[in-house]
């Protein structure tokens, strides 16, 4: 009887040790998964931040190009209006000179 009790006690001890090892391995696996998930999250956040900066930079460059184009268009309109006024003034002077003659 004593042998059965000692055998049962040893079996329980062995199962207990096995359970602790299994719990430790499960805990380590869970920690590894959590660490991998955190790393993936950090990388995703960094990529998102970089993409946001890239979009902002592109928008700034586009804004500068639009502003430059608007300035050039305004200058062209202004130059065209000046030439038209000069041509009209010259035509009026020529007409006035022709009427006087």
Composition of the chain by helix, strand, coil, percent to 5: 100, 0, 0
For residue 27, what pLDDT is reported?
77
Tell me what percent of the residues of the chain surpass a pLDDT of 70. 78
Which residue in the block uniquely carries the two structure tokens 């639009």?
66
For residue 5, what pLDDT is reported?
57
For residue 70, what pLDDT is reported?
92
Assess whether pLDDT exceeds 80 at residue 23: no
**Does the CA dihedral 73-78-83-89 come out positive or negative?**
positive
Q: What is the pTM of this model?
A: 0.47
């Amino acid at each position: 009887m004593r042998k059965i009790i000692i055998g049962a006690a040893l079996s329980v001890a062995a199962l207990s040790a096995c359970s602790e090892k299994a719990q430790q391995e499960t805990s380590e696996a869970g920690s590894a998964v959590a660490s991998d998930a955190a790393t993936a999250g950090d990388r995703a956040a960094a990529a998102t931040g970089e993409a946001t900066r890239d979009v902002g930079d592109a928008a700034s460059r586009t804004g500068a190009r639009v502003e430059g184009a608007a300035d050039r268009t305004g200058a062209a309109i202004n130059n065209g209006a000046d030439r038209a006024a000069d041509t009209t003034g010259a035509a009026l002077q020529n007409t006035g000179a022709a009427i006087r003659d």
